[in-house]
């Protein structure tokens, strides 16, 4: 019997509910493990230019602020996204204390931080709700990170972060861009599981 293919819409609803069911204490442990693992990965590759999503707290996303702080302390150039209408701009992050919340509740650098070229980026830390065995992800349905990854240099690393280690089955779409790797945690949240695609 073939496994059932689930729609992206159904996966979004299911994984949002699963995230809401995780305790703050569990997420804090998992966030620490995920951020430490990604920092180690970045350093093992000798990468200096890293784009990191900043978490939308109401969506219980992985809290990436410790990763950003550690990358900055290690001398890396750190970038994130800022939405302007339907367009996504890459901006530099210099100071976590200076971040503001945009209309969607996403922490972003102040407006004075102008856009930078995605060609600089060597690795992108990507948010997701679910993923499949081929490294394609289910995000929030706007295609923001798919568009960003297509603008980056050839060979850019795309690393997803997930609280859930098991891949799902869903239909990929033509605009989807696959991850290079996925960093997840086990059900206890205290051990990291890597998937490379």
Instruction: For residue 136, give both structure tokens.
Output: 């394609």
Q: Does residue 52 belong to any structural domain of this protein?
A: yes
SS3 state of residue 61: coil
Pairing of β 123-126 and β 49-52: parallel
Distance CA 60, CA 58 (A): 6
The answer to whether position 1 is within a domain reads no
pLDDT in tens, the chain (197 residues): 567 889 999 999 999 999 999 999 999 999 999 999 999 999 999 999 999 999 999 999 999 999 999 999 999 999 999 888 778 899 999 999 999 998 888 899 987 777 899 999 999 999 999 999 999 999 998 889 999 999 999 999 999 999 999 999 999 999 999 999 999 999 999 899 999 99
Binding site annotation covers 12? yes
Query: Is 3 domain-assigned?
Result: no
Is 30 annotated in a binding site? The answer is: no
15 is in an annotated binding site: no
Q: Please report which helix (H) or strand (E) contains residue 10, including its range.
A: helix 8-20
Residue 2 within any structural domain of the chain: no
Q: What is the CATH number of the domain that holds 120?
A: 3.40.50.10420
120 annotated as belonging to a binding site for a ligand:
no
Residue 65 lies in a domain: yes
Q: Name the residue range of residue 122's domain.
A: 8-196
Distance between the two ends of the chain, CA-based, in angstroms? Answer: 26
142 labeled part of a ligand binding site: yes
Contact 43, 74 (CB under 8 A): yes
Question: Does 184 reside within a domain?
Answer: yes
H-helix or E-strand spanning residue 71: helix 65-73
Domain count, the chain: 1
E-strand ranges in 21-151 read 49-52, 77-84, 87-93, 100-101, 107-108, 123-126, 130-131, 137-138
């Amino acid at each position: 019997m073939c496994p059932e293919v689930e729609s992206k819409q159904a996966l979004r609803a299911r994984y949002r509910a699963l995230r809401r069911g995780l305790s703050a204490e569990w997420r804090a442990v998992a966030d620490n493990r995920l951020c430490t693992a990604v920092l180690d990965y970045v350093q093992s590759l000798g990468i200096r230019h890293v784009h990191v999503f900043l978490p939308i707290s109401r969506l219980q996303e992985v809290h990436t602020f410790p990763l950003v702080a550690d990358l900055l302390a290690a001398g890396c150039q750190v970038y994130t996204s800022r939405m302007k209408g339907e367009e996504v701009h890459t901006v530099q992050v210099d100071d976590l204390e200076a971040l503001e919340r945009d209309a969607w509740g996403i922490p972003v650098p102040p407006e004075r931080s102008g856009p930078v070229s995605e060609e600089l980026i060597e690795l992108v830390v990507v948010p997701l709700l679910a993923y499949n065995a081929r490294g394609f992800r289910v995000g929030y349905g706007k295609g923001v990170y798919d568009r960003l990854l297509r603008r980056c240099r050839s060979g850019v690393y795309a690393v997803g972060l997930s609280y859930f280690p098991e891949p799902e089955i869903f239909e990929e779409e033509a605009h989807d861009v696959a991850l290079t790797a996925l960093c997840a945690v086990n059900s206890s949240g205290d051990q990291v599981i890597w998937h490379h695609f």
